[in-house]
Every structure is written in structure tokens, then in C-alpha cells.
Amino acid sequence: MEWDRLSILITGGTGSFGNKFVEMVLAKYTPRRLIVFSRDELKQFEMRQRFADTGGSPIRYFIGDVRDPDRLRRAMEGVDIVIHAAALKQVPSCEYNPFEAVKTNINGAQNVIDAAIDSGVKKVVALSSDKAVNPINLYGATKLCAEKIFIQGNAYAASTGTRFSCVRYGNVIGSRGSVIPLFREQRRNGKVTITDPRMTRFWITLPEAVELVVNALFHMQGGEIFVPRLPSMKIIDLAKAIAPDCEIEWIGIRPGEKLHELLITEDEGRNTVTYNGVYIVMPNLSWWERKNYATGEKLPEGFMYSSNTNEKWLTVEDLKKMIQSSLPTEQAFLDNFLTVVHNLTQRVLLDMINSEERIQGKEIVKSV
């Protein structure tokens, strides 16, 4: 791909993935335009500070919501590639607000597909989750629906040339909502809470997630789900890596939580090949004809990719090193400081305005 000619848009661009994607793309490539599309103006302000928003920067910041199809169409004018990262991701939040989760994760996905086709976007890659595989909570169910409609979006695109694929991966180190900040906070009190000693998870770093997306953009035919080969880890080992001297309290599995996570089911395994270091789940649909991945190797009968039967595992020492490398950088601390200053400034201004209004109100009362 000729990156210097490409215009790229990322929905949910101010999230953990979006920040890392922008950082790595700017470091390795020179896109013509890089559009950060999100609904949070404060996070966009923080990104402007981090990436030194100057006149020569290719970054553009668009306020918008994936629930708004008209705004998406306007934002995608002249765009070549879309990375769809916007979603409601917190399992408890989605359980408590199911209609909102559907509006963003399912209806929003359809809006992205329609806008991409209407705007002539060439490639769209959507971010999915291991929780979309055999889902037992609403978040996973909405991501499964999003996967299905993105794959089938290729049939809707037909001869327009717009192609859709997904990437599917596990828990991300350093992302917002990770269990790591929770364990760090609990460490202060000398006790960490774990749901079950048997619990395992897949683990991926943010740079690895970005590389997976870039790899998908290079190789996608349209209709595939790209799954990285990830190590597994035990939640209890993660707790030992973060808070080795703390007491552990077992609190039981929460509603909508699994003991182990799946990235590829046995049924999907029959249509999966290994290629270029990743698993590629190909669609079993009448309109799909395999053209790429000629050297891809089929998986053995009965193959499934589960966090508890994985061949590669992270030790406590491995986890310590990975967590250390994911600690906030000096720039991140600066961003947080600027955010605090920004919030404080707004609060001071509001107090001044309210104070002036109270004074004026008293003066009016006196004059009357």
C-alpha cells in the first residue's frame, strides 16, 4: 500500500487502541490524512497535546458518533481505509444498559458499513473480541452480531469494491478497563480479589494489536477474521506479578464471565488456515471464493483455540516484564497533568460565571 496517498479514518480513535494506532502509523508510515473520529472532545484535546497538533500534521479530529449515519458519511468522504474500533466494551455496563450496547455495537456497525459503501471506502477492518466466540454476556453477543454483519457486508458491497474484514483478539495489556489498574489499586490495601483460581485469559499488547490490523489491511481479501497467535496466562499469576505480597480473596465468577476464553471454535477451525503467523478464519458462504493465502496450512480436525489448552503460557516473570513495559510514559503523565489543568480551568471559569450571575441577580433585586 502507498501510505502517503491514503486517507485513514479510525472510529473510537481516542481510545487505547486508537492512541497506539496513531502513534505507530505516524512513526512507520506517512498517511495523507489520519482522521480520529470519536464523541469525546476532552480525549481529542488530550490527543492534540500528545501528538503536537500543528499545521503540518496529517491528523484531523472529527467529533461524531457511530450511531449517527449522516455524520459518518460526511466523515468518510475521500477516505480509503476505515478502522472500526468504536464500541461499548465494559461487560457490566453493557449488561445494565443493553439497549445502549445494541445501539453502539450493532446499529453503529451497520452505520459504518453503509457509510463505507456509500462513500467508496476501499477497505474496512473491524475490531472484535474473544468474548464474541460462544458469547455468554451481552457485550460478547453484540460483538458476534457485529462480526456477522461485517463479514456479510461484502455481499452488500458487491461490485462497489468496498471490502470488510475483522480482527479478533484477547485482553489487552495497558488498555482502559484492564484488570491491571484494579490490582494496583487493591495492592494498597494488602488484598486483591480474584473470581476463580482456574481462570485463564489470552493476552496481547497494544503494539501487537495494531500490527495485527496493519497485517489484515495488507492481506485481506474481504470476509476473513484474523486471529493472532497469543500466549495465555492465569489470572492468579497476574495477581502474583502485580501484588506478590498481598492476600487473595476469592469472590466467585461474576454473571456473564467465563472461566476460559475461546478465539476459534471447533466449527470455525474447519475453515481456518495458518498464514503469515496468524490464524485466518475464512467465511463459509456461497459468495466467497478463496483467492489469497495459497500457502496457508489447514488446521487438524477438531482444532479449537482456547485459553486453557494453549501451547504458549506466560509465567509470573513474563507478566512482570510486560506490565513494566506497559506502564505510563512521561508523555502519558504529561497528558494526564494537562487534563487535570484543563478540567480545573473549566471549573474555575464556571465558578466565576456563576458568581457573577449571583452578584448581578442580587443587584437586580436591589434595584427593584
Mean pLDDT score of the chain, rounded to an integer? 88
Q: How many Cβ atoms are within 10 Å of 148's Cβ, its own excluded?
A: 15
Burial of 19 (0-12, 13-18, 19+ CB in 10 A): buried
Q: What does the pLDDT look like over 129-143, one tens digit per residue? A: 999 999 999 999 999
Sequence-distant (≥ 6) Cβ neighbours of residue 132 within 8 angstroms? 140, 143, 144, 146, 147, 168
Using an 8 Å Cβ cutoff, are 173 and 322 in contact?
yes
pLDDT tens for 86-125 read 999 988 899 999 999 999 999 999 999 999 999 999 999 9
Confidence tier at 151 by pLDDT (50, 70, 90): very high
Q: Is 131 a catalytic residue?
A: yes
The DSSP bridge partners found for residue 169 are 129
Name the pLDDT band for 254 (thresholds 50, 70, 90): confident
Domain locations in the chain as residue ranges = 3-170+204-226+262-309, 330-368
Give dist(CA 74, CA 55) in Å, integer. 22
Tell me the three-class secondary structure of 48-66, residue by residue: HHHCCCCCCCCEEEEECCC
Distance CA 128, CA 119 (A): 23
Enumerate residues 6+ apart whose C-beta is below 8 A from 193: 186, 248, 249, 250, 251
Contacts of 106 (CB under 8 A, 6+ apart): 142, 145, 146, 149
Q: Given this model, what pLDDT does residue 242 score?
A: 92
Examine the pLDDT at 11 and tell me if it is beyond 90: yes
- As a whole number of angstroms, the distance between CA 312 and CA 308 comes to 10
Average confidence (pLDDT) over 21-45:
94
Q: What is the pLDDT of residue 355?
A: 61
**Non-local CB neighbours of 144 within 8 Å, separated by 6+ positions:** 132, 133, 135
pLDDT band for position 3 (50/70/90)?
A: confident
- Per annotation, catalytic residue among 123, 131, 143, 234: 131
Residue 323: pLDDT band with limits 50, 70, 90: confident
Q: What is the pLDDT of residues 48-85, one digit of tens each?
A: 999 986 567 899 999 999 999 999 999 999 999 999 99
Q: Is 130 left (phi over 0), alpha (psi -120 to 50) or beta?
A: alpha
CATH architecture, domain 3-170+204-226+262-309: 3-Layer(aba) Sandwich (3.40)
pTM of the model: 0.85
Q: What pLDDT band is residue 332 in, cutting at 50, 70 and 90?
A: very low
- CB-based contact 130:261 (threshold 8 Å): yes
Reply yes or no on whether the pLDDT at 335 is more than 60: no
Main-chain dihedrals φ then ψ at residue 157, nearest 5 degrees: -70, -35
